Chains A and B, each alone.
Chain A
């Protein structure tokens, strides 16, 4: 199998005084190119922790993590920044847009850090914004947009650098069901066009949009199964 990411025996242990919280307790998993995977589990089970490790925002306490065959679990700060920039697009529950920048400036940010020249940056950012259907709002600021529109801007930003992997942590959590469904449709389209998507959610219906569902409990994978679409 051609694995895009591979985790082997990943532990993330928080020590608070004498207490030890095993947020990830020996997780091993492998996700192939162009899979659409949901990660589900009750609150506090370690979903976000797993997503942060996969997204290189956090380093595991122990274990090995490979992206496209390269070990990243022992990489230093700036190398990880480059990995996040080129390999991963993030979609957060709370959008995490920069309020002082316009839509297009927000979408351009990853391209700036990538070092793309201005003209190319504009073209790529515009293409991403068009893809999420916000071409007419590119000079608005985030606070002039609805929640669903803001999440679409975040999706455009995640797509701007054309990373292979899209990570979405509860992307519909803050949205009503109709807007949530729109966002899910958008993720499916992105998947269709070749991206690998990892979606974290605690809603069963949302999880079932994926091809594969991984459940975790208390930091351990409790089940890992293909979805059979009726």
Chain B
């Protein structure tokens, strides 16, 4: 008996019991679709996070002062001195303090995120203004109550007007809007990076009741020296603070790596969970195939009586389970592609199912068919013809 005969028999048997075949496939369909959707979405969000981080510029590094194991605290002036003393490594440094104050313009009230920084922040963190100006050095030295607002806030509070020169109440204090940041996202929704305000760090420290500045971003002179600059920075900070625990330096490359490992783990985990449902689907197939072998004992007996060898019976049942799981796999892949597209659209990431994942899950479904079909098929092939014929 050849393969095309066995395939024909498999399709005949599946067509003869469509509902059951569908229910059998369901486990595989759900498993394959889940694997594809989860892995593709994680991959897509990784790609979008990476792209976002790369847009920040690769010659940026951040310093976090943890305050641990060190009695000394470094000031903005100390940091500026590091830059001034090492002009071949560093271009500039921008402090940053953050908070989440309530803002009010007219009668509209909302909370947003605030960053207090200096004139270098715009360039280091790649946040240019679209209109007006950014914070200046003079703003910082004289603690001016000026504010640069994100595009979302500009749209929401000052629609149809030029925000520059308007006033905005931040935590109850009156600030003058001097500029609007260029939009970072396309949707510009609430809570996005466009929903924020930037003020001079000196003003921010007072507004946030003497908040300490613990975060700085440095710009290396070029991306070629970024790695060395980051090492140099660690060396200088160690000398100043006396403990490796007192600070953390992160450069873009490292952060990208962190994101990659994090999302890698996540995709493995989610893929694993979805993979379990594939195994459950496989057990479903084995279950149904075993029932089917019992139900068709008489058929097996007849086939053996008229000359079917073990191998013929074996391949008939094995191919049937492979066909069932492959059809399930194909339906699962289609649903997976569609699901990835629609869910990706719903959560706002541009996601497409990758060919790798599709190939993988297709391979997995064939293997499941073979693996879980083997036992029932073997059982069928070993039936004694006379016992099988007598079976009621």
* A157 CA to B386 CA, complexed, in Å: 19
Is B171 among interface residues, defined by CB-CB distance under 8 A?
no
The stretch among A63-71, A106-114, A131-139 that forms the contact with chain B is A106-114
Residue A192 CB within 8 A of the other chain:
no
A57's partner among B12, B303, B311, B389 (CB-CB below 8 A) is B389
Instruction: Name which residue of chain B comes closest to A114, CB basis.
Output: B307
- CB contacts (< 8 Å) of A85 on chain B: these are 306-307
Bound form: Cα–Cα A96–B304 in Å: 12
Interface residue ranges of B4-45 to A (CB < 8 Å)? 5, 12-13, 16
Q: What residues on B are CB-neighbors of A110 within 8 Å?
A: 306-307
Most A C-beta atoms less than 10 A away, residue of B301, B304, B307, B309:
B307
CB of A73 to closest CB in B, whole Å: 15
Known: A57-B385, A57-B389, A98-B299. Contact between A113 and B306, CB under 8 A? yes
CB neighbours of B305 from chain A (8 A):
55, 57, 84, 90, 96
**In the docked arrangement, what's the CA distance between A98 and B12, Å?**
12
Residues of A67-105 contacting chain B, CB below 8 A: 77-78, 81-82, 84-86, 90, 92, 96-98, 100-101
Asked if A149 is at the interface of the complex by the 8 Å CB criterion, the answer is: no
B59 CB, nearest partner CB in chain A, Å: 71
Quick check: A77 and B310 within 8 Å, CB to CB? yes
Q: Is B302 within 8 A of A112, CB to CB?
A: no
Inter-chain contacts of A33 with B (CB < 8 A): none
Check B310–A78 contact: CB distance below 8 A: yes
Check B307–A84 contact: CB distance below 8 A.
yes
A58 touches B386 (CB 8 A): yes
**For the complex, what is the distance from the CA of A81 to the CA of B308, rounded to whole Å?**
6
> Could you say which residues of chain A place their CB within 8 Å of the CB of B1?
112-113, 115
Flag B278-321 by CB within 8 Å of A: 1 or 0 each. 00000000000000000000110111111111111000000000
Asked if A28 CB lies within 8 Å of chain B CBs, one says no
Contact yes or no, B307 A81, CB < 8 A: yes
Interface size, chain B (Cβ < 8 Å): 23
CA distance A216 to B16 in the complex (A): 43
A114 to B307: give the CA distance in the assembly, Å. 8
* B2 nearest CB neighbor, chain A only: A115
CB-nearest residue of chain A to B307? A85
Q: Given that A58-B386, A96-B389, A113-B1 are known contacts, is A157 also in contact with B16, CB under 8 Å in the complex?
A: no
State A86–B299 Cα separation when bound (angstroms): 20
Is A215 engaged at the interface, CB distance under 8 Å to the other chain? Answer: no
Which listed residue (B12, B309, B385) contacts A100, Cβ 8 A? B12
- Residues on the B chain within 8 Å of A100, using CB: 12-13, 16
Q: Is the interface of B mostly helix, strand, loop or mixed?
A: helix
* Chain A residues, Cβ within 8 Å of B312: 113
The CA-CA distance from A90 to B304 in the complex, in Å, is: 11
Interface size of A by CB at 8 A reads: 26
Question: Which of A97, A98, A113 is within 8 Å of B309, CB to CB?
Answer: A113
Which residues does chain B contribute within 8 Å of A34, judged by CB atoms?
Answer: none
For A22-47 the 0/1 string (1 means CB < 8 A from B) is: 00000000000000000000000000
Chain A proximity of B68: nearest CB distance (Å): 76
Q: Which residues from 164 to 215 on chain B have a C-beta closer than 8 Å to any C-beta of chain A?
A: none
A84 to B304, CA, bound (A): 8
A154 to chain B, nearest CB (A): 10
Interface centre among B298, B303, B312, B385 (most CB of A within 10 A): B385
A101 touches B309 (CB 8 A): no
| A52 interface residue (CB < 8 Å to B) | yes
Q: How far is the CB of A119 from chain B (nearest CB, A)?
A: 14
- Residue contact B306 to A57, C-beta cutoff 8 Å: no
- Give bound CA distance, A57 to B389, whole Å: 9
In the complex, chain A residues whose CB is within 8 Å of the CB of B389: 57, 92, 96
Q: B21: shortest Cβ distance to chain A, in Å?
A: 13
Which residues of chain B come closer than 8 Å to A97, judged between CB atoms?
302
Bound CA span A96–B386, Å: 13
The reply to whether B306 and A90 contact each other, CB–CB distance below 8 Å, is yes
Tell me, rounded to whole Å, the shortest Cβ–Cβ distance linking B315 to chain A.
12
Q: Contact at A78–B386, with CB atoms within 8 Å?
A: no
Rounded to whole Å, the gap between the CB of A91 and the closest CB of chain B is 11
User: A184 to B299, alpha carbons, bound, how many Å?
Assistant: 26
- CB atoms of B309 and A112 under 8 A apart: no
In angstroms, how far is the closest chain A Cβ from the Cβ of B175?
A: 81
Please provide the chain A residues from 45 to 62 with a CB less than 8 Å away from any CB of chain B in the complex.
52, 55, 57-58
Q: Which chain A positions have C-beta within 8 A of B310?
A: 77-78, 81
Selected A-B contacts with CB under 8 Å, 19 pairs: A52-B386, A57-B305, A58-B386, A77-B310, A81-B304, A81-B308, A81-B310, A84-B304, A84-B305, A85-B306, A85-B307, A90-B305, A97-B302, A98-B302, A98-B303, A100-B16, A113-B1, A113-B307, A113-B309
* Chain A interface residues toward B at CB < 8 A: 52, 55, 57-58, 77-78, 81-82, 84-86, 90, 92, 96-98, 100-101, 109-110, 112-115, 157, 161
Q: Given known contacts A90-B305, A110-B307, what 15 new A-B pairs fall within 8 Å (CB)? A: A57-B386, A78-B311, A84-B305, A84-B306, A90-B306, A96-B305, A109-B303, A110-B306, A112-B5, A113-B303, A113-B306, A113-B307, A113-B308, A114-B307, A115-B2
Lowest 8 CB-CB distances: which A-B pairs, in order?
A85-B307, A113-B307, A110-B306, A58-B386, A57-B386, A81-B309, A78-B309, A100-B16
